Structure 1
Amino acid sequence: MQPMTATRPAPAAAKRDPAPSRVAYKAHRLWLTPLFRQLMRVGVPVFLLTMAVGWYFSNPTNRFAIMEKVQEVRRSVEERPEFMVKLMAVEGASPVVSDAIRQMIPVDFPVSSFDLDLDAMQAEVAELDVIERVDLRIRPGGVLEVAVTERTPVVLWRAATGLEMLDATGHRVASISARNGRADLPLLAGSGAQDDVPEALALLAAAGPLARDIRGLVRMGERRWDIVLDGEQRIQLPEQNPVQALEQVIALDQAQDLLARNLTFIDMRNPARPTLRMAAPAVEELRRIKGLELGGPAQ
C-alpha cells in the first residue's frame, strides 16, 4: 500500500484591476477636452475636405470645366430681360451737348447692366467743359439716364486763342468764333481776367446807368480793371475796392455830367485824387483859349 500524499489546493485566479490603463486614462482625459472634441468633429473633416477639393482642382481640366460652368450660370443671370438696358436718354442737355455725350458713350444696345461701368462713363462725360454736373443711373424699363446740368455762360473772355465763354466762376464753357455770336454777354479782356470773373460781374452790376455804354472790361497787370466805354473813354479803377471807385465816378457823372465831356481817361487808381485826361482836340482848344486870355483882346 502506497502512502497517501497531501495535495495543495490550486491558487485562486488573480482579480482583474478595474482601474483603466495609463494610456486609456490619458486618451479619455484628452477626449473630455472641448478643444480636442471640436478639432476631431470639425477640424479633421474640414481638413480632409480641403485636401480632396485641392486634389480635384489641381487638375487643369477640372478647373476649366468648373470655370466654364460658373461663367455660363453668370451670363444666364446677367442677360435676363430685367437686367438688360435697351436705350439711353440724355436729360437737361442742349442738342449739341446731347450729341457729344452720345458720341462719348458708344454703347451698343441692348446690353446687360452688369457690363456698364457707370462710374467710368460719368467721369468721362464730366470732362466736358460745358458740364457742371452729370449723374448716370439705370431707370426701370431698361433706360440708361444721363442727367446733365450745363454751365451757364455769363461773360466772354478774349483770350490769346480766341473768344471763350465763361461761367460765373470763371470756368470755361465753350468757344465761339465771333463776338456777335453772343452779343448779349459782356466782354472781358486781358491776362488773368478769367480768374476774377466774380469781381467783373460785381462791377457790371454796379455800373447802373453806364452799363449800356460799356464796351468791355480789361484786366490790367492781373491786378486791376479798366472799364472801356463807347467813344474810347476809359475808367481806370484801383486794385482795392474798385466798386466804390466806380460808384464815385457815377456820382460825379450824375452831378457834373462828367462823361459827356471830351475826356479819354478818368483815373481813379487813387480815389482820393481823381485825375482826368482830356482828348487831343480839347487840349488844343484849351491852349488856344489860354493864349487868347494871355494876349488880351486884339487892337
Structure 2
Amino acid sequence: MSKIGPEHVSGYGMTRVRRILRRPLYYWGLRVFLVICLCVSSWLLITVPSWTTIYEQQMQLVENYLADRHELRLRKVLIHGRRDMSMATLLEVMKVEEDAPLFRVQTEAIEARLQQHPVIKYAHVQFLPPDTLEVVVEERMPIGVWSHQGAWRVFSRDGTILGDMSYKYEPLPRFAGDGAADQAHELIDHLIVYPELMKRLEVAIRVGKRRWTLRLSPGVDIYLPEKNLGNALTELSLLQQRDGVLDRDVVVIDARLSDRWYLRLDDGVRVQLLPGGNA
C-alpha cells in the first residue's frame, strides 16, 4: 500500500512547478499582452477626450488654410419664404455662419435642423456655386393662443405649438380646454363669417373634447352644439342683429339643442327660445 507523506507532497509540488515552467513561450506572451492591453485601454479612456479635441482643432486649422488658399468659403446665404422668424433666428437654427469653410456646409444636415423647429413646416437647402447657400422655408403661421399648463402658447392651424405668448400675438383669438389647439381651426373658419361675433370673442373653451363654449363680451357664455356648428352661429348672429341679445341681461345662451334654446338671465330667470328666436 502506498503512503502519502511529506516527501511525496514536496515532490509533487516541484513536479507541478517544472511542468508550468516548461509551457511554451506564447503562453506567457499572451498573458503579458493582455496585461499591456488592459493598461493601454485604461490610459486611452483617460486621455482620448483631449486627443479628440486636439484632432478637431487641427482639422479646423487645415480647413481654414484650404478655404483661404482656394477661396472655399461661404459668402452668401439666401433665404426665401421667411415671414415671422428673424434672419438671426434662422441662422442660429441652421448653425451656419457666413465666411465658414465650405467643407463644413452640409445641406442635408441644415435641412434636418430647420425641419425640427416647430415654426418651420417645410425647408429645402441647396448649394449654389461658387459660394452661396440657398434656403427655401415655409413657416407655420399662428392662428390662436391656447392656455396650456398654466401659460399661453401660440399655435398654428395644425395644432403645433409655436412658442410662448408675446405682445405681437395679442390680436389672436384665445382658446382653452383639452384639445382646443387641435380643433380651433374649424371654429375659426366658422367665426370669420360673422365678424360681429368674432370681435366679441374673449375665449373659446373646448368642453370634453366634443364641443365649444364661447365667452363673448360683455360676459355672455354661448353653449354651442357638438354638430351643426355653422347653423348655431348663423342663428346667434341673426338674434344679435334683430334683438341685440348679447347686449341684454343675458349670461348664458344654451344652443346645444337644435329645436330649442335656453337663455339664462343675470337674475337667474331661464327663458326658452324656439327656432327663429320666438320665446
Q: TM-score range by the shorter chain?
A: 0.5 to 0.7
Q: CA shift at 1:230, angstroms?
A: 0.9
Measured at CA, do residues 256 and 100 of structure 1 come closer, stay the same or move farther in structure 2, by a change above 3 Å? closer
2-side partners of 1:96 and 1:201: how far apart? 24
Aligned residue for 1:276? 263
1-side partners of 2:139 and 2:77: how far apart? 18
Aligned residue for 1:265? 252
Aligned pair 1:235/2:226, yes or no?
no
| Superposed counterparts of 1:7-86, under 5 Å | 81=70, 84-86=73-75
> Is the contact between residue 265 and residue 277 of structure 1 (CA under 8 Å) also seen in structure 2?
yes
Aligned pair 1:201/2:188, yes or no?
yes
2-side partners of 1:123 and 1:161: how far apart? 31
Q: CA shift at 1:140, angstroms?
A: 3.0
Match of 2:149 among 160, 184, 187: 160
Aligned pair 1:173/2:162, yes or no?
yes
Measured at CA, do residues 215 and 136 of structure 1 come closer, stay the same or move farther in structure 2, by a change above 3 Å? same
Measured at CA, do residues 84 and 213 of structure 1 come closer, stay the same or move farther in structure 2, by a change above 3 Å? closer
Q: Please give the TM-score of this superposition, normalised by the length of structure 1.
A: 0.60
Measured at CA, do residues 99 and 84 of structure 1 come closer, stay the same or move farther in structure 2, by a change above 3 Å? closer
RMSD: 2.9
> Is the contact between residue 165 and residue 175 of structure 1 (CA under 8 Å) also seen in structure 2?
yes
Q: CA shift at 1:204, angstroms?
A: 1.6
**Equivalent residues, number:** 205
> Is the contact between residue 154 and residue 165 of structure 2 (CA under 8 Å) also seen in structure 1?
yes
Measured at CA, do residues 149 and 81 of structure 1 come closer, stay the same or move farther in structure 2, by a change above 3 Å? farther
What amino acid is the match of 1:189? A
Q: Please give the TM-score of this superposition, normalised by the length of structure 2.
A: 0.64
Secondary structure in structure 2 of the residue aligned to 1:155:
strand
Q: CA shift at 1:161, angstroms?
A: 4.2
Q: Which runs of 5+ in 2 are unaligned?
A: 1-62, 272-279
Measured at CA, do residues 257 and 169 of structure 1 come closer, stay the same or move farther in structure 2, by a change above 3 Å? same
Q: CA shift at 1:195, angstroms?
A: 1.1
Q: Which runs of 5+ in 1 are unaligned?
A: 1-74, 287-299
What amino acid is the match of 2:119? V
Deviations 1:215-254 (A, max 9, x none): 1211111110111111210110011111211111222233
> Is the contact between residue 175 and residue 205 of structure 2 (CA under 8 Å) also seen in structure 1?
yes
Q: CA shift at 1:143, angstroms?
A: 1.0
Secondary structure in structure 1 of the residue aligned to 2:77:
strand
The percent identity for this pair of structures is 25
Q: Which has the larger radius of gyration?
A: 1
1-side partners of 2:250 and 2:102: how far apart? 71
Secondary structure in structure 2 of the residue aligned to 1:206:
coil
> Is the contact between residue 87 and residue 110 of structure 1 (CA under 8 Å) also seen in structure 2?
no
